Amino acid sequence: MSLTKRLHEVRTPAGPSRRDPVLDELRQKIHHHLIDELGPLLYDRRMSEDDLRVRVQDQLQKALAKEKAPLSAADKAQLVQDVSDDILGYGPIDRYLKESEITEVMVNGPHSIYVERAGKIETVPAQF
């Protein structure tokens, strides 16, 4: 089956495809804070991946504590995961790369991301 035919059979998962602009602004602010605080440590080859992850998580918690934004526990956890993925992984597609049933991740643009799961192509709500 050609890619064109498979794209016509795209399934769209349930759930919102738009992100909250307030959370996006906070995510960006915390992301920049981490870059400013950790700077060269992010590229230090002598630091182990686990040590770097601990450092990033620690700075994330400190940055969130400074912010007075009323966040639910779920929003806070998602924000921490999103920023961690941006800093340490592949950003919004990181979670799909870790899923064993996903065989391909296709990024066609910042707002157009597809995955192949069980031979079917579906759009995902992630965006850059």
Q: What is the pLDDT of residues 46-64, one digit of tens each?
A: 989 899 999 999 999 899 8
Classify the C-alpha dihedral 117-122-127-128 as positive or negative. Answer: positive
Residue 93 lies in a domain: yes
Residue 39 lies in a domain: yes
Res. 18 pLDDT band, cuts 50 70 90: low
Q: Tell me which residue range forms the domain holding 20.
A: 3-123
Residue owning tokens 């526990």: 73
Residue 128 lies in a domain: no
pLDDT recorded at residue 120:
96
Half-sphere exposure of 98 (CA within 13 A, CB side): 8
pLDDT exceeds 70 at position 3: no
pLDDT exceeds 50 at position 122: yes
Residue 51 lies in a domain: yes
pLDDT recorded at residue 1:
62
Residue 108 lies in a domain: yes
Res. 6 pLDDT band, cuts 50 70 90: low
Domain count, the chain: 1
